Structures are given as C-alpha cells and as structure tokens.
A = this chain, B = another copy of it.
Amino acid sequence: MKAKVIVRLKDGVLDPQGQTIQRSLNKMGHEVTELRQGKYFEIEFNGMKDESAVRQRVEEIAADVLCNPIIETFEIEDIS
C-alpha cells in the first residue's frame, strides 16, 4: 500500500520560502496573493495490506519523523 502525506507549516509561522517565491511571482506579473510551501511524501509498504493498520503506522511516522510538531502539522492525503 502507498500513503501520501503532506506536511505544512502551522498558520502564523513565517514561511520565508513561500514568501520569497510569492514575491518573485508577483514581480513576474502573476497576481498571487499568498503562497505557502510544504513537503510531500509518498510512503510505500509492501508487506501491509490493511488500510487502518497502514494509517496508524503512517500517523506515527508522520508525527515522529516527517513533521516537526513545533512548527508543522501533517495530513494524510490518501492511502491506497
């Protein structure tokens, strides 16, 4: 099974990356009002077949490893 996870900065946490990209896009003439950058992960589990088990596993991995809970939150997009 394969899980897709998105990690994004919490609201209120400065996103210099996103802001810099946004500023450049604005300069190029794109009227973007906000841009925020996050991370995306695809995780494959060959052995596991049970969705809820995978979900539990992914939540654990995301909370412990993929995301820095002090400034980030995560979301499991899809498991299939």
Query: Which residues on A are within 8 Å of B, measured CB to CB?
Result: 6-8, 18, 21, 24-25, 28, 30-48, 57, 60-61, 65-66, 77
Contact = CB atoms under 8 A, between A and B. Distances in A.
Given A65-B21, A65-B25, A66-B21, A36 B41 contact: yes
Contact of A32 (B21, B37, B38, B43): B43
Nearest to A38: B40
Judged by DSSP, the binding face of A is mixed
A21 B47 CA distance: 19
B30 A37 contact: no
B47 A43 contact: no
A31 B3 CA distance: 13
